[in-house]
Amino acid sequence: MIVNLRPLTALFLTCLLAACASKPGPTIGELPRTPEGNIEQILEQAADSDPEEANPLRLSAADLAYQQKDFNRASSILLQVPLQTLPPAEQIYALTLQAELELQRKKPKSALNSLDHPSFQYLAQLPVEQQIRSAMVRANALQADNQNLAAARERVFIAPLLSGQAASGNHERIWVLVSSLPDDQLAAGSDADLNGWLELVRISRGSISLEQQQAAIDSWRSKNPQHPAAKQLPQPLTEIEALAAQTVTKVGLLLPQEGQLATVAEALRNGFMAAYYQALASGAAAPEIIFYDSSRLTSMDEFYRQAQQDGIQLVVGPLEKPLVRQLNAQANLPITTLALNYSDTAEPGPAQLFQFGLSAEDEAREVARRAWADGMRRAVALVPRGEWGDRTLAAFQQAWLAQGGTLIAAEHVEQPVELAQQIASLFQLRDSEARAKRLQSLLGEEVASQPARRQDIDFIFLAATPQQAQQIKPTLAFQYAGDVPVYATSHLLSGTITQPQPADLNGIRFCETPWLLNSAAPLQQQVIGQWPQAAGSMGRLFAMGSDAYLLTSRLNQLKSLPESNAQGLSGLLSLSQTQRVVRQLQWAEFRDGLVQPL
């Protein structure tokens, strides 16, 4: 069966606009047929055949090895096939298989390069099975390369050719991809079907409560009855109605009113209540809020007894890490609790405990995600000395290695005076200087030389204070490494986003909360008008408080639907397997002394 498929890449556009032939034409050749026999028998047959017959046999043998998950053998067989001498149909077959093998090696960019070969302009003239296979590997490569919008577009394009379980699975994958996109990637484009998916994400995120979300979805379906998602809602959206029936009607806000954390708690409380009043103003059903002072607690058991007597269905808090640690060690909790901090251990707590905070580990993992998406593969790290730096480095290292990246080295910075030596060590500049001295000694005369740094470092992961960060770029330049990209956590930012920043930060990319990067939302304007400090670093706490209120209605959704998320003001929120709220952040760069969102 020959079917026309919409473009997989820009190279395919011309052929996709043309009428498709009923069978492959003589100029592009045919796909390899699947011969009888095992891999060895097929290869023996190829060895006894002329090249025109041997090449498709070897391609079939390589594909059979791939299907049997013998990836190394598939690659070695494929190397025996001279790609440039093949007709286009066989080139498409070989390059699709090559892309699948590259994905197995966690090399999505190499897979995408394979699929950008000129032969793919003939893809629409091949049987639909090959069109689907090539499109699916491209969609998977784009997703592995963190190009989720492009991956969703590919799956939307291929959807009309699918049926049965493949169609249903593709339908759900489209939703997973589009619902993972940040808000700035949800703008409408030229494809009507993809626009419908993106609009569905926008309206589902724009709702404060699950009831409002359900009403918005129903309205969208009535306006777009022919859209694939209207005919078959993605599973996460079909469950919203049931989840809305579990609405929390009474929340206990447990925060300290005295002590060292009182200022932090006040910002969290103000952000929480600002979101509460916004919900009331929008007509959403809002729970009753009862305040409790954790600084006066004598025991958590006594608190829960009081909360149960008060009819509390969800506790938001505590903030104090010792109390969160204590809760995490329990087997069960009498009331579902959203702690506003994290315990020290990675061990999961009781089923009723969820943990949410402004974690440096979240930012370290976000740096790993973004750097990998930007094509970086080999990193060095600079983090502060101490427990905070150790935790941040461990989170980055775990996330970076899990993606397939390499961490060449790490240094713990403390005193600016040490920084030059540490960077010289990371980039092996002293080795270069030593080589120059040895050469000078051998020649017995002065040798004009400039130290050369190692060239296998793609970027620097930086977690540092503003003062430390301002030393990094000049020192890198002094140590002949000023061109190495720097990806940082938000901790290097001082003041507000709109204030001029030191020129020494220029070129550094960093992740940050949507609250600080996109401060035009009505809620933010209201909060900043009342609490000007919310425009600066304290704004992260207001954003967290606002998101804590958002989670009072979305916690069940995130738990019941593991691939779902909620767009908050502290990031795109999802839930880990250990019931920790994970934030995906937005990105900015210092340019000409100003912060420019990316």
End-to-end CA distance of the chain: 44
Phi-psi region of 579 (alpha: psi -120 to 50; beta: other; left: phi over 0): left
CA 290 to chain centre: 36
Query: What are 213-216's contacts with CB under 8 Å, separation 24+?
Result: 213/240, 213/244, 214/240, 214/241, 214/244
Residue 391, φ and ψ in degrees, nearest 5: -65, -40
Task: Please report the pLDDT score of residue 12 as a whole number.
Answer: 42
What gap in Å lies between CA 353 and CA 555, rounded to an integer? 11
In contact, 210 and 247? CB cutoff 8 Å: yes
CA 207 to chain centre: 23
**Digit-coded pLDDT (tens) for 508-541:** 899 999 888 876 677 788 888 888 888 888 889 9
| DSSP assignment string, 13-27 | HHHHHSPPPSS--TT
> Does the pLDDT of residue 15 top 60, yes or no?
no
**Digit-coded pLDDT (tens) for 159-196:** 999 999 999 999 999 999 998 887 778 888 888 999 99
Tokens 């980039």, located at residue? 427
Tell me the pLDDT band of 482, cut-offs 50, 70 and 90: low
Least confident window among 170-179, 337-346, 496-505: 496-505
Pick from 431, 429, 386, 382: nearest CA to 409: 382
**Digit-coded pLDDT (tens) for 376-404:** 998 989 898 888 899 999 999 999 999 88
> Does the pLDDT of residue 498 top 50, yes or no?
yes
> Does the pLDDT of residue 502 top 90, yes or no?
no
Instruction: List, in sequence order, every residue forming a beta bridge with 316; answer none if it has no partner.
Output: 253, 338
**Digit-coded pLDDT (tens) for 192-217:** 999 999 999 888 876 667 778 888 88
Task: Please report the pLDDT score of residue 191 as a whole number.
Answer: 87
> Does the pLDDT of residue 551 top 90, yes or no?
yes
Name the amino acid, one letter, at 10: A
Q: How many residues does the chain have?
A: 598
3-state secondary structure of 53: helix
Instruction: List, in sequence order, every residue forming a beta bridge with 486; answer none if it has no partner.
Output: 460
Q: Which residues contact 271 (CB under 8 A, 6 or more apart)?
A: 527, 534, 541, 542, 543, 544, 545, 546, 547, 548, 549
Task: Please report the pLDDT score of residue 432 as a whole number.
Answer: 43
Task: Please report the pLDDT score of residue 563 as a whole number.
Answer: 75
Q: DSSP assignment, residue 407?
A: E
Tokens 């909060």, located at residue? 527
**How far are the Cα atoms of 173, 461, 467, 487 from residue 413, in angstroms, in the given order?**
43, 13, 12, 16
Task: Please report the pLDDT score of residue 9 as a whole number.
Answer: 42
- Which structure tokens are listed for 227? 């859209």
Task: Please report the pLDDT score of residue 242 as a whole number.
Answer: 75
> How does strand 566-567 pair with strand 572-575?
antiparallel
**Digit-coded pLDDT (tens) for 293-317:** 999 988 899 999 999 999 999 999 9
Q: DSSP assignment, residue 147?
A: -
Hey, how many other C-beta atoms are within 10 angstroms of the C-beta on 558? 22
Average pLDDT taken over every residue of the chain? 85
**Digit-coded pLDDT (tens) for 422-468:** 666 666 544 444 444 443 554 455 544 444 445 678 999 999 888 88
Burial class (CB in 10 A: 0-12, 13-18, 19+), 472: buried
What gap in Å lies between CA 170 and CA 201, rounded to an integer? 17
- Which structure tokens are listed for 282? 């929008």
What gap in Å lies between CA 336 and CA 324, rounded to an integer? 13
> Does the pLDDT of residue 220 top 50, yes or no?
yes
**Quick check: bond before 256 cis, omega within 30?**
no
- Which structure tokens are listed for 342? 């994290």
Pick from 257, 253, 386, 234: nearest CA to 307: 253
Name the amino acid, one letter, at 443: L
3-state secondary structure of 378: strand
SS3 content of the chain, % helix, strand, coil (to 5): 55, 10, 35
- Which structure tokens are listed for 89? 């149909």
**Digit-coded pLDDT (tens) for 110-146:** 999 999 999 999 999 999 999 999 999 999 999 988 8
Task: Please report the pLDDT score of residue 445 as a whole number.
Answer: 53
What gap in Å lies between CA 338 and CA 566, rounded to an integer? 16
- Which structure tokens are listed for 304? 């829960």
What gap in Å lies between CA 206 and CA 323, rounded to an integer? 34
Helix residue ranges per DSSP H, 415-493: 416-426, 429-443, 466-478
In contact, 498 and 539? CB cutoff 8 Å: no
Task: Please report the pLDDT score of residue 412 as a whole number.
Answer: 84
Instruction: List, in sequence order, every residue forming a beta bridge with 584; answer none if it has no partner.
Output: 572
In contact, 2 and 25? CB cutoff 8 Å: no
Phi-psi region of 317 (alpha: psi -120 to 50; beta: other; left: phi over 0): left
Task: Please report the pLDDT score of residue 183 as a whole number.
Answer: 78
Task: Please report the pLDDT score of residue 423 as a whole number.
Answer: 67
Tell me the pLDDT band of 267, cut-offs 50, 70 and 90: very high
What domains appear along the chain, each with residue ranges and CATH number? 10-195 (1.25.40.10), 246-355 (3.40.50.2300), 361-522+587-597 (3.40.50.2300)
Burial class (CB in 10 A: 0-12, 13-18, 19+), 433: middle
Mean pLDDT value across residues 102-115: 92
> Does the pLDDT of residue 292 top 90, yes or no?
yes
In contact, 58 and 46? CB cutoff 8 Å: yes
What gap in Å lies between CA 588 and CA 469, rounded to an integer? 15
What gap in Å lies between CA 241 and CA 435, rounded to an integer? 70
> Does the pLDDT of residue 4 top 70, yes or no?
no
Mean pLDDT value across residues 220-235: 92
Largest CA distance in the chain: 89
Task: Please report the pLDDT score of residue 171 as a whole number.
Answer: 95
What proportion of the chain, given as a percentage, has pLDDT over 70? 86
- Describe the strand order of the beta sheet including 566-567 as a list of residue ranges: 566-567, 572-575, 581-584
